[in-house]
Amino acid sequence: SQQGEEDPQALSIQEGENATMNCSYKTSINNLQWYRQNSGRGLVHLILIRSNEREKHSGRLRVTLDTSKKSSSLLITASRAADTASYFCATDAWSSGDKLTFGTGTRLAVRP
């Protein structure tokens, strides 16, 4: 079963615009992470936010976490064509033995 569901499934924007992706999950978590996947490749870890944190920044990335709504968002500012990829959220929780469970992903296309 998928713990997380990303929204939207696909997003197309112009270079320079901001991209926002959302992730909703079902059960209480320890941490939420965001990953990026270029086509046909492995995933690359972007950022981790703990359940007691509300916001985190890393370069052009901003992640928020709302545990009351069981949701997170990933904002990529000033997008570039090289940001074109699929983005996944992943959660871990004590209740599921700390296994890392992924959402369905958002496919982002940044037009030059």
Partner 1 sequence: DGGITQSPKYLFRKEGQNVTLSCEQNLNHDAMYWYRQDPGQGLRLIYYSQIVNDFQKGDIAEGYSVSREKKESFPLTVTSAQKNPTAFYLCASSMRHGAFFGQGTRLTVV
Token pair of 37 as six digits: 């996947």
Tell whether residue 52 is a contact of partner 1 (CB under 8 A).
no
Q: Among 17, 55, 66, 98, which residue interacts with partner 1 (rule: CB under 8 A)?
A: 98
Tell whether residue 99 is a contact of partner 1 (CB under 8 A).
yes
Tell whether residue 20 is a contact of partner 1 (CB under 8 A).
no
CA distances from 20 to 9, 42, 80, 98 (A): 12, 22, 14, 27
Q: Among 31, 51, 64, 73, which residue interacts with partner 1 (rule: CB under 8 A)?
A: 31
> Quick one: CA dihedral 5, 30, 66, 74, positive or negative?
negative
Q: How far is the CB of 85 from partner 1 (least distance, A)?
A: 13
Pick the closer one to partner 1 by CB: 81 or 100: 100
Q: How far apart are CA 55 and CA 50, in angstroms?
A: 9
58-97: contacts with partner 1 (CB under 8 A): 88, 90, 92, 97
CA distances from 89 to 5, 14, 33, 49, 111 (A): 8, 23, 6, 11, 23
**Residue numbers of the site for partner 1 (CB under 8 A)?**
1-2, 31, 33, 35, 40-45, 48, 88, 90, 92, 97-105, 107
